[in-house]
Amino acid sequence: MRRSPNRRYLEYLSALDDFSAGDRNLHRLTSPQIVNGHSLKGFNFFDATQQALLRALQRPEFNIRGIRRADLAPFLRQISPASITRYLWRLRQFGLIKKVVHGYRYYLTRLGRSTIAAACRITEESIVPALAHATP
């Protein structure tokens, strides 16, 4: 008699999606971290400079060839080359990019690809249209 409700409840629980890993990753990326005694700011996905950097990293040619600071510079004219280097180091410390062994190139990690895609999608499809309908 009791097996049927328990079975249905277990089927219901198994059908639920678990987003706890995504919540942990979001908290890790947006919270400050201490690496080798240095404090690193978390990422603000709504900051114009950081959005420009993330959009540049998402370009298809970088997915194939990898990313160098010199490749990013034409797309990020508002950021100095030294700042681009610091951003790349910070992206690497947070696990969004990985360095090629014995080279100066970086590739987006799985976390980096999904984070950048989600940040761009939320901004373009949710926030901008909602603000377009807001009255000043």
Is residue 12 domain-resident?
A: no
- Band (6; pLDDT cuts 50, 70, 90): confident
Q: CA triplet 69, 70, 76: central angle to 5 degrees? A: 75
- Band (2; pLDDT cuts 50, 70, 90): low
44: helix, coil or strand? coil
CATH code, domain with 69: 1.10.10.10
Is residue 9 domain-resident?
A: no
Mean pLDDT of all residues in 31-57: 91
Is residue 60 domain-resident?
A: yes
How many domains in the chain? Answer: 1
- Band (87; pLDDT cuts 50, 70, 90): very high
Least confident range of 1-10, 98-107, 114-123: 1-10
Indicate the DSSP class of residue 73.
G
Give the range of the structural domain holding residue 28, as residue numbers without chain letter: 20-128
Report CA dihedral (88, 93, 98, 104) to the nearest 10 degrees.
Answer: 40
Is residue 135 domain-resident?
A: no
Is residue 121 domain-resident?
A: yes
Is residue 15 domain-resident?
A: no
Residues 112 and 57: beta-carbon distance below 8 Å: yes
- Band (5; pLDDT cuts 50, 70, 90): confident
Is residue 84 domain-resident?
A: yes
pTM of the model: 0.79
Is residue 85 domain-resident?
A: yes
